[in-house]
Structure 1
């Protein structure tokens, strides 16, 4: 299977400056190619990767575009391939621009023959990249397979390299262990149908105070010549905020990875809700004609949802399930928090508070998130046993009791 290995790079100062240059060139190629695709769509035409790659090769010969030749050619071609895949998946008009201030520089080397890795010591390794030469990185774990490609990116002021590796491991067979339901929440990150409540504070109290002060300093710092050109003080504050957010993000990723492995190791089926996080965290600001209501409360809820990393946790679950023989079943989230797991009565009044669920019909009482996780598990078992009733799947039904008797 294909998997990833991420390591911390130890760039020399000139290599770090060159990496910034390559990232800026790839960002310019992405934005220019995206605008070209949109202009073609306005005219009712279409342009593909092959034509854009040919035009980029011609542009390198132009003295005004000679800066394109400063970057490795394969990274620019891979940028165009990534753009074409994004346009085919999401549509040309929904693909986002790459911002200088909001998008971290990143570029990929797709040819494994141009990537040479060797181990220097117990803690250090070396990778040779086109136009970079030898670059040292922290050897924190073995590669464990054949390298397919490598991606260099900056995160929180540090540079990392991510290898896509073919580890040669086949997908594990079903492990036959008991199923479990998982409810992703705001107050508690992960609640399971067996009564487990797992959470972690990703931000300490001191970090929250510091982050707020840094944001205040950022808002007061001087802006020069427009929105994207600020003073050195503003750039330094933004760098501090980026480092602090990276530390928080790493804790969130670590928690999601550990929880995912724990769940798939001990269970053969993990049922989760099919949540549309992008729609759930949409702004309630509204328009001038129809302004939104409770905008501040909705913004706070959006921040709380995003701070728990629901989407990243699901990705970790799906990745770990391949190695441990577990199945991830996504179910419809409708009424899972309002349904009594004991009598199946649906009533919003049964949820007395964020943590207390007391059924108004039968009096059953349970933790609200655990009750929802039990409903999610029941829905997952129903889908697994009888099949999805959607038009794209066949209705697999369990044999009736008369035939099995």
Structure 2
């Protein structure tokens, strides 16, 4: 039998879809996927190794993301695209096949910042911010995590105190995506009423964003430490619909759902890089794809990719039906990110020494996925969410 052509990527993808999962998608869902895939191929893939190497986030692409229709993708109204959860998931997968950092931009902008304003904001806040954010004219960030409050947001120390009709915001946040290039940040703070959300323009006096670097992961992205030195905010800055941790947790669940799909993109790209390399690389007078150990590695990767895709699609269908529960999202995030890391690492081994060069994607995906594994809930947090669900006993404290 003749070996498959390593340059015929579409044929390799068809062969790798052993379960025929493409047939489970509608024509419109495939069209959305293909449109985002083409964008990644032309606007991200040729440049991403250099961006990662230099630690550069291409903020200039924000309007192009808006035109593509992936910012606030599954939100309705206010200039948002209003696509389905499955369509958003497919877009997240294709974006992360380019790079986790670029998919993270879409998640922070759409699921976290825009999602919070859309769900909990006033009509005035929605009209002011959402249309411009959907177009990529305004970049948003989401301030929840703190230096001493990562997995336990209930212990946050950032505080907002009433002062007449205004609020005074003081505190720190850490690992806040996009904060140094954003025009607006949704900040969560303790108040006498409980945790509240605030829409904070980043040019407010007392707002400071410090980029966290150097990093070995998510280098084509921006993460910051935020400092709030007595920022004075009007009462109109408060998200009126959110009191307590329900507000930020609702946004986190939206972001976690996107990760279920996105991690598969990094894994698929790693697998495809390894498969194409194995078909083209000769050792001992034959392509290494013809050796049993290489085939075992490729098959093990494919098994988890196909299972992960079924899981993501099932969760997406439930989300569109309005039946998806938080513990189900935790199951998807825990499984798909964990398996994606294993796939990226195994793919790197097939590339041998060449696999540490950034011209090949698996080493970059493996590094990025360590961040994806940590944010929006660590493995341990999602394990305990599932543990509490199946036993009825909380084990967080």
Look at both structures and tell me which one has the larger radius of gyration over its CA atoms. 1
Q: TM-score, normalised by structure 2?
A: 0.24
Q: TM-score, normalised by structure 1?
A: 0.23
Q: Which has the higher contact order (CA 8 A, sep 6+)?
A: 2
Structure with the higher fraction of residues in helix conformation: 2
